């Protein structure tokens, strides 16, 4: 094992002199001067002691400082006193233990240079042979080889055993099936302003207006029936631009999906599903704050920048007999990010 030329590790057999001699060792001041050692000892003890005080301080602060006390801390601003003190005491308590331990190791623990001996990692040949022989004996005595029916049933039982774990995955919920392809928008759904629930007439929107909107029926769906899912899929934005500014729409030949320059688009980014309402009305562009995907709403919701792969789905709209804005139908394609079955 002494053939180690060309590596930077010297392996020494027991009792050999090292191939590469060590540089001369200098003792630390704490090794030679008892006063310095005493001083270092006091430093370490002080750090540990302070840590203990901080821990006690944390408990006291937790109990004593009301959470509604705020103090002004110069440039940092107005800070909750309780958070400040709890953070400082807890942080210092653990920091001082660490600093003390390092100081202890550096200044006081034994400072001797030791040659660590390295042996071959493998077991000796005779141990290996003995272990193999023992295994063979066990194999023969168990009858694992001869008793084929025992062996096969055991293997079969072990193979089947994980099946229950797979079966209980069923409780993770039903498959989404078709629900990703549809939203609650349908022919005649009134478009209402999100939060306030106000139905909209075309004249309510000026050129450059942006409205975050949802279907009127959304409120009828209870929380347990999936209101949040329905909201997540059905959220739209309405924008109005000059009809002459509209370069293209997603409507097929012979259909009109806008209403006099009012366009409705899904609010859910087609990249990873962030809700978007960063509408820059001069360029008619919609910018996603998550990954900067940008959609040109004047040009069929086309992606003009960023990682989104598909255009923003457009909702066909019109007005009903009372003059309120309504959907012509559901979206003609799934909204939101791509998913496996979508292809």
Partner 1 sequence: MTSTSVRRHRATGLVVLLAALVATGVGYAAVTDSAQAAPPQASETQVQQGRQLFLEGCATCHGLAAQGTDSGPGLIGVGAASVDFQVTTGRMPLSAPAVQAPRKTPQYTPEQVTALAAYVASLGAGPAIPSDSDLSTTDANLAEGGELFRTNCAQCHNFAGKGGALSDGKYAPTLMNATPREMVEAMLTGPQNMPNFPNATLPLEKKQAIVKYITDNLQNAAAPGGLALGSYGPVTEGVFIWTAGIGALLLAAVWIGAKVR
Residue numbers at the binding site for partner 1 (CB under 8 A)? 9-11, 18, 20, 22-23, 28-30, 70, 73, 75-80, 83-84, 87, 102, 106-107, 111, 113-118, 193-196, 198, 200-201, 203-206, 208-212, 239, 275-283, 285, 287, 289, 292, 294, 305
The CA–CA distances, whole Å, from 107 to 23, 110, 341 equal: 20, 9, 64
Name the minimum Å distance from CB 166 to partner 1. Answer: 39
The H or E element containing residue 303 is strand 302-305
8 Å CB contact between 209 and 240: yes
In the bound state with partner 1, the residue whose beta carbon lies nearer, of 5 and 125, is: 5
8 Å CB contact between 336 and 231: no
Name the minimum Å distance from CB 267 to partner 1. Answer: 10
- Give me the residue label for tokens 């320059």: 261
In the bound state with partner 1, the residue whose beta carbon lies nearer, of 285 and 329, is: 285
| Cβ atoms within 10 Å, residue 262 | 22
Name the minimum Å distance from CB 1 to partner 1. Answer: 12
The CA–CA distances, whole Å, from 160 to 149, 157, 166, 171 equal: 16, 5, 11, 20
In the bound state with partner 1, the residue whose beta carbon lies nearer, of 2 and 137, is: 2
Query: SS3 of 276, please?
Result: coil
| Cβ atoms within 10 Å, residue 192 | 21
In the bound state with partner 1, the residue whose beta carbon lies nearer, of 268 and 334, is: 268
Name the minimum Å distance from CB 73 to partner 1. Answer: 8
Name the minimum Å distance from CB 333 to partner 1. Answer: 24
In the bound state with partner 1, the residue whose beta carbon lies nearer, of 78 and 172, is: 78
């Amino acid at each position: 094992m002494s053939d180690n030329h060309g590596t930077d590790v010297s392996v020494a057999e027991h009792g050999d002199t090292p191939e590469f001699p060590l540089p001369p060792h200098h003792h630390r001041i704490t090794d030679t001067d008892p006063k310095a050692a005493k001083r270092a000892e006091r430093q370490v003890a002080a750090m540990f002691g302070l840590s203990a005080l901080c821990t006690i301080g944390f408990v006291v602060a937790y109990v004593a400082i009301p959470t509604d006390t705020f103090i002004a801390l110069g440039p940092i601003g107005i800070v909750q006193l309780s958070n400040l003190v709890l953070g400082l005491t807890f942080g210092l308590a653990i920091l001082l233990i660490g600093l003390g331990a390092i100081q202890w190791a550096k200044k006081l623990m034994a400072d001797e240079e030791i040659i660590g001996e390295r042996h071959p990692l493998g077991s000796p040949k005779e141990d290996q042979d003995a272990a193999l022989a023992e295994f063979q004996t066990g194999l023969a005595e168990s009858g694992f080889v001869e008793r084929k029916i025992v062996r096969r049933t055991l293997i079969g039982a072990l193979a089947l055993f994980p099946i229950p774990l797979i079966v209980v995955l069923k409780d993770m919920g039903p498959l989404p099936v078709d629900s990703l392809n549809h939203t609650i928008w349908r022919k005649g759904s009134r478009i209402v302003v999100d939060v306030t629930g106000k139905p909209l007439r075309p004249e309510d929107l000026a050129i450059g207006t942006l409205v975050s909107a949802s279907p009127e029926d959304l409120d009828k769906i209870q929380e347990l029936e999936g209101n949040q899912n329905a909201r997540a899929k059905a959220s739209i934005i309405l924008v109005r631009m000059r009809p002459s500014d509209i370069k293209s729409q997603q409507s097929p030949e012979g259909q009109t999906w806008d209403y006099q320059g009012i366009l409705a688009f899904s609010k859910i980014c087609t990249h990873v599903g962030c809700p978007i309402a960063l509408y820059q009305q001069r360029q008619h562009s919609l910018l996603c704050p998550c990954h900067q995907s940008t959609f040109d709403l004047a040009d069929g919701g086309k992606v003009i920048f960023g990682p989104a792969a598909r255009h923003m789905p457009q909702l066909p709209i019109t007005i009903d007999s009372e003059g309120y804005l309504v959907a012509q139908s559901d979206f003609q394609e799934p909204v939101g990010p791509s998913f496996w079955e979508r292809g």
